[in-house]
Amino acid sequence: MLKGIPKILSPELLKVLAEMGHSDCIVLADGNFPAESMGKNAIVIRCDGHGIPELLDAILQVFPLDTYVEHPVNLMEVMAGDTVETPIWNTYKEIIKKYDNRGDETVVSIERFAFYEKAKTAYAIIATGESALYANIMLQKGVVV
């Protein structure tokens, strides 16, 4: 164990976060996301039993968001015709505001299949047990100053 590091961040996840460089992306995937097939060229870390909000809060304590891009946080847009509500997005935005003074301005939603294509280029995918629909979130790493 380490002081000052959230206990939810496993040694494997901490290693990946430390290895990532500026502009690398990480996906926090909900339980329905095809993490293994999307992550064929990425590191896939299983965090079953954990929800995305608790992981997002812990990760953002040690992980800066990219300040050189307008939207370092991407959400998977709800498909046209789908009536799913996404209250978890508000939870994400509240968490992000705690760690980045740009707040909501960092976040954009992108079309589902565009999200999948971008996820295929991610450095890592964290497969969670999150049950909320359209809960996938991608973070682009910034510079530690």
User: How far, in Å, CA of 42 to CA of 117, rounded?
Assistant: 13
Would you state the structure tokens that stand for residue 100, as one six-digit string? 């980045």
Active site residue 22: yes
Would you state the structure tokens that stand for residue 111, as one six-digit string? 């079309």
Active-site pick, 30, 50, 57, 66: 66
Would you state the structure tokens that stand for residue 116, as one six-digit string? 């999948």
Cβ proximity of 70 and 36 under 8 Å: no
Would you state the structure tokens that stand for residue 98, as one six-digit string? 């705690």
Active-site pick, 71, 99, 104, 116: 116
What is the phi/psi pair of residue 56, to 5°? -60, -45
> Residue 72 carries which side chain, given as an amino acid letter?
P
Q: Residue 145 CB: number of other CB atoms within 10 A?
A: 5
Active site residue 66: yes
Cβ proximity of 110 and 75 under 8 Å: yes
Catalytic residues: 22, 66, 116
